[in-house]
Structure 1
């Protein structure tokens, strides 16, 4: 039979801060009541679990139960030692232990684990944190977290097993995680972070899905730590499956009010193309917008996909069905301490009282995240005051949107330069963009101010205002220039892929120092005209499929614009055309790019000057100095050799970019290019202003071949061009090497 005890007295020893009644309540033992040995043990455990005592003893002594305790000390101060990668100010919010509170070893150990986890997020999985106590008087202690930060645990190698359609090199470019390279001291993304692997899995899944591999799956990811615990070897095990194309794409509906033919005509996807879920989503969105325009509310579009294993196609039928009659009761926005509600609300095509469309809400959520104003944005719908209503909750977390930059740049056309800039992407929380900058180089100084309101008058109408002032001290010419401009503009969508820009410009130009620098007679005559103020109106039509197109590996940009000089010191028409096409081939290892630029300038009042005519630089036509080709005024006796620019230009550029066999984490690729084009045309008035010889007024094609080295360096994107003009004119100024680099720090 178990032994029992009965006590008429309870004696408590060793307590200083904690009242005896509190200790008795934790122990749960009443005077005079019989107590078993097990109950005494339970009392002991309760006292220990209270977290108030460093030591507890319960000893029966006759009719007296003696409870002896040693209280945990009070924390005098909390400190960190050994940390350099994370500052004290950043570690302090992570710990629960605080000064003037009772020390709790369990909490201290949890704090140590939390600090170690913070280092793990930085890729330092070998970090160790040990809580230590420094005894002080009056039962006080200093709690010190001794930190051994350890080194960065890098991703030494990323490999793939089971892939055949795409190489390891191509798949590594999809991932957020990168391998460690020779710039590992400067590159942060080569550290191992476990949470990033889950994101990489999704990136791989999306990559294959967008290319028709609907059965693709990742069977496992192996992350092996090296024996030295300083590197990981990551292997993705994948099953690609077969690539599927679109088969028949149709629209069906049993709703009598639906005109199926009109919806069929609205589809942009066509049979034979590579199947992609994003294309299906795009078509659903188009059909649902058409339904709203036709007044067909609560019509939902559901894709029905049928597999054809024999020819590896997927037939898609978009079924238009009747959805639930649910309305949006209201949209609640929380967490936006800086950004105004209306900036978030205008991302919704849906307003309070409109029919509820889950797809439209998801698209609005994506637009909110794409703003870049928020570190996190969650958009969810819940039932409203009735089952026929929903409330859309938007919870956002503000993120910094301003930047102050000090940078440097170098190019072979303008030399070394410094840049100071300020930019705010969410000015006063209104979603407006504000920026200004100062850029200086050995041959030019530029000052600019830009402001943009993306939703002018509450519509999808972008208002822009630009102020620019530039002074040049050109190393390639015998004159200097001063220009300034004020340019307000409006930009609005015409269709999904087309935008229109309308622009007014007031421009000041002046040519100086032509006589002092011994410029030719034409430039001197243009300087004699004095400063000029021109007013112009411009329209620019832009068609761009690079973001909204159906092919993730190809895109086209077409731009056509005309500037009309109206009033001021001259009247003119300036027409510009630009076309860019890009695609990836050979399993997306090689990028092919073709660009065509052309322009024409015609004056009906006044004459063009060198500040108005086309002078090409190496970003438009490689292989030549700035103004190195086109019409020139030349006289060997007086050493005059001035580039005049031309009223017309046309340039076609073709290039291929490809890997060089180097590890992709180096960020170095190669390229070849071929440029052909010309600058030509002067007015009779301009040509008559000299007794010297005017060269190359007529069209004469120049041809350039070259190779490029691209380096996505830690300092910024670097491009080196080695070129040779295989066909040029005698007085052209060719340039066999050029490079450019820019950065902000």
Structure 2
């Protein structure tokens, strides 16, 4: 009985056995009678012994390699089943298009047809996704053996990439073009199809927050005006799952502890070119903090000492972040007290009757686990030390899961990375932990354009560049160029956020400006040099100490057109001031008890007189408050600021005094209000020693479809600038020295475009002086790259 095993199709792996004698007899019997019984005594399975092996058809793969994969050796006795297994091993190797094994007496003949190698891979029909991105999706590669099954899998992977990009109708067909020397070109023919956008996102079950407010929380967006540029308006299942978690975090941070997403329904439109996405949610009731206490289960640890540092009070809306803040505060105190491995467990008791949550912070002894090492991956630009600086724990320190979570949040807050995952796993022993940091970097540079317009002076342009992660060191670099109204200004600023590896920020500012504008009748050159150190002094407070060296030269034009007061100041020539100062900042907008409200307080003083030509004390103060009302649909913001200049020596000149810009009061040119030196040919802003300003503004939706990204705002500004003490006013015609309050109302239009947010300000000065200079329109644009 002879045996021949063949296979002609790799994908089906078909093989046939030809048997003589007995099978032929069975077939004849069945055909004649319909039934046939065969009685056979057991026989021994047939074995083969081959003295030689003949391999045919191979050119790229050597004989030894084929025999090795088949597992056949000369002179070895093998059965028919083992011969079939050898055949299967050759077929499954993925190297041959067909395989045939045939015993010929003492010789085994193996005939193979090798699969071609891939000469070139190309993509046709792709416009939405570039070749480089598709090459990263597939596993086939040039100069590798062509595998039809792998090509089919690659086509499916490409189609999935298009589906994630919102093109669900995309079709991908792999084609091969035969070349010489058993090579093929693989071409993936792509039909991209139309983009399936999300036409509408709506919510069912939400009573407290509107659909508009909740849509702002989601990462998925509705198709809008710039649908060809926005990539988040397509349906992606993974993104929707992330949105469900984001919604829960949003409600939980506002006290809705029972919130849940019941379901998300994605329904295709009749035209099958869009989705209607519906989130079915259950909000529940809002809970507030009830009784807050501290319980110690550790000997020699007094609970009362830690109870005194708790800041959250009953009646505050419950949010997990406040609980985390209190735990961090207790742990920091325990480190100062020398208590190691302290574990703080918040035990929460629910009171449904009065909708409160009692929180008891239980102090207990945690397990003795240490940080073995911190592994960082994915940071191609950012240096490891920048990331490690966000950890308060280092190798060998006690392991604190909460501190690791906070370190992860600090890494994300750097805004250097698209994703930042921090996880802990068991190390070399049960008492050792390895912290893995997996990162994906993103662009950190920004380019900003600003523009302004006034009926009297025309347009102005300002350009600035900022790099938040300079050379991957976590340092900040700012460059600015301004050409507004013939005024040239060049600035450079550098910030090292962690000097000497500590929470100590070093800053250096250098600014050079030359003015030749229609705002004044004189030119000026200014050089400013300012190094500074900034460090924390409390949980929300920071203190900056700095030195300021400034040289100012006032230049007369040819022919001179300035008034007597400015003329006297020009005659002084170059004047250099040398000052030391400080700035205290208190900011609760991110860490306060209310996630929808916060306050910023700044107080600054500079003392000049350490050498130089000037001696003065300059003080400024600013308070900013912000809150959201009407279920966070409307943002209210109020700013109050002022300044005082107490001159003690040297020449008190216009560039040294306060000059109000549109950042302080809108509706006027820079220096558009305050004392002025009137002349026949024009007038000059003189500035003032005292100023006060208040700004009130509201931002709100204006009823347009949210996908347009357009919202509105109104504002009211009031300011006064006055006092020219210690100024030589002889021979001049000065107005506005005693000051008066100017009042401005205005309307803003905010447009969130793909190239950056646009802001249009339209203003009207309802109370002003005849000598003031108005600016009725202002435009700003910021874009990121």
Structure 2 length normalisation: TM-score?
0.86
1:95-134 to structure 2, matched below 5 A, reads: 95-134=138-177
1: distance between equivalents of 2:257 and 2:275? 30
CA distance in 1, matches of 2:106, 2:392: 81
1:458 aligns with 2:501: yes
1:715 to 755, 759, 764: 755
Tell me, yes or no, if the aligned pair for 1:515 and 1:524 is still in contact at 8 Å. no
How far, CA to CA, are the matches of 1:374 and 1:47 in structure 2?
47
Deviates more, 1:150-159 or 1:304-313: 150-159
1:593 corresponding residue in structure 2: 637
The higher radius of gyration belongs to 2
CA RMSD of aligned residues (A): 3.0
Q: CA deviation at 1:420?
A: 6.3
Match of 1:87 among 130, 134, 144: 130
Residues 46, 353 of structure 1: alpha-carbon distance in 2 compared, 3 angstrom cutoff: closer
Secondary structure (helix, strand or coil) at the match of 2:135 reads helix
Classify 1:188/1:416 alpha carbon distance in 2 versus 1 (closer, same or farther; 3 Å): farther
- TM-aligned CA deviation for residue 540 of structure 1: 0.5
Distance in 2 (alpha carbons) for counterparts of 1:122 and 1:558: 45
1:695 CA drift (Å): 1.6
CA distance change for structure 1 residues 446 and 11 in 2, over 3 Å: closer, same or farther? same
Whether 1:506 and 2:549 are equivalent positions in the alignment is yes
- Structure 1 residue 285 and structure 2 residue 306: aligned? no
Q: d(CA) in 2 for partners of 1:744 and 1:34?
A: 71
Output the CA distance in 2 between the equivalents of 1:28 and 1:2.
30
Give 1:410's aligned residue: 451
Correspondence for 2:194:
151
Cα drift, residue 100 of structure 1: 3.0
Given that 1:499 and 1:543 are in contact with CA atoms closer than 8 Å, whether structure 2 keeps it comes out as yes
226-235 vs 204-213, which moves further: 226-235
1:689 match: 730
Once the two structures are TM-superposed, the CA of residue 56 in structure 1 deviates from its matched residue by 5.0
Does structure 1 retain, via aligned residues, the 8 Å contact 2:468–2:474?
Answer: no
Q: Which moved more, 1:8-17 or 1:623-632?
A: 8-17
* Aligned counterpart for 1:672 among listed residues 706, 711, 714: 714
Q: CA deviation at 1:200?
A: 1.2
**1 CA distance for matches of 2:384 and 2:758?**
41
| Deviation, structure 1 residue 528 | 1.1
- Residue 584 in 1 paired to residue 628 in 2? yes
Q: Write the deviation string for residues 260-313 of structure 1: whole angstroms up to 9, x where unpaired.
A: 222122111111111101111111111111111122222211111111111111
Q: Does the aligned pair in 2 maintain the 1:469–1:484 contact within 8 Å?
A: yes
Unmatched 5+ residue regions in structure 2? Answer: 1-21, 25-44
> Contact conserved, 1:374 with 1:396, CA < 8 A, in 2?
no
Residue 726 of structure 1: aligned partner: 766
Q: Deviations over 1:520-548 (max 9, x none)?
A: 21111111111111111111110000111
Cα 1:426–1:372 change in 2 (3 A) is farther
Q: Which residue does the alignment assign to 1:314?
A: 357
Change (3 A) 1:654 1:468: same
- Superposed, 1:508-527 pairs within 5 Å as 508-514=551-557, 516=559, 518-527=561-570
Specify every segment of 5 or more residues in structure 1 that has no aligned partner in the other structure, as ranges.
Answer: none
Counterparts in 2 of 1:537 and 1:384: CA distance versus 1, 3 Å: same
Change (3 A) 1:580 1:490: same
Does the C-alpha gap of structure 1 residues 147 and 383 become closer, same or farther in structure 2, counting only changes over 3 Å?
A: closer
8 Å Cα contact 2:453-2:775 kept in structure 1? no
Q: Does 1:178 align with 2:218?
A: no
SS in 1 for 2:654: coil
Distance across 1 between alignment mates of 2:499 and 2:110: 76
Once the two structures are superposed, residues 611-666 of structure 1 have per-residue CA deviations (whole angstroms, 9 ceiling, x without a partner) of 1222212221122222222112235xx24432221111111111111110111221
**Alpha carbons 1:246, 1:275 under 8 Å: kept:** yes
Q: In the TM superposition, what is the alpha-carbon distance from 1:22 to its structure 2 partner?
A: 6.1
Work out whether 1:736 is the aligned partner of 2:779: no
Query: Following superposition of structure 1 onto structure 2, how do residues 562-711 of structure 1 map, counting pairs within 5 Å?
Result: 562-566=605-609, 567-634=611-678, 638-683=680-725, 685-686=727-728, 688-692=729-733, 694-711=734-751
Flag the 1:51–1:685 CA change in 2: closer, same or farther, 3 A: closer
Distance (whole Å) between structure 2 residues aligned to residue 92 and residue 455 of structure 1:
40
Please report how far the alpha carbon of residue 243 of structure 1 lies from its aligned counterpart in structure 2 after TM superposition. Answer: 0.8
Q: 1:115 and 1:294 mapped to 2: Cα distance?
A: 59
Deviation per CA, 1:75-123, whole angstroms, max 9, x where unpaired?
Answer: 2222222223333334334333233332110111122222233333333
- Larger deviation, residues 592-601 vs 625-634: 625-634
Q: How far is the alpha carbon of 1:178 from its aligned partner?
A: 1.0
Is the contact between residue 246 and residue 270 of structure 1 (CA under 8 Å) also seen in structure 2?
yes
Q: What does residue range 386-465 of structure 1 map to in structure 2 within 5 Å?
A: 387=430, 389-397=431-439, 399=441, 403=445, 408-412=449-453, 415-417=459-461, 419=463, 421=465, 423=467, 425-427=469-471, 429-465=472-508
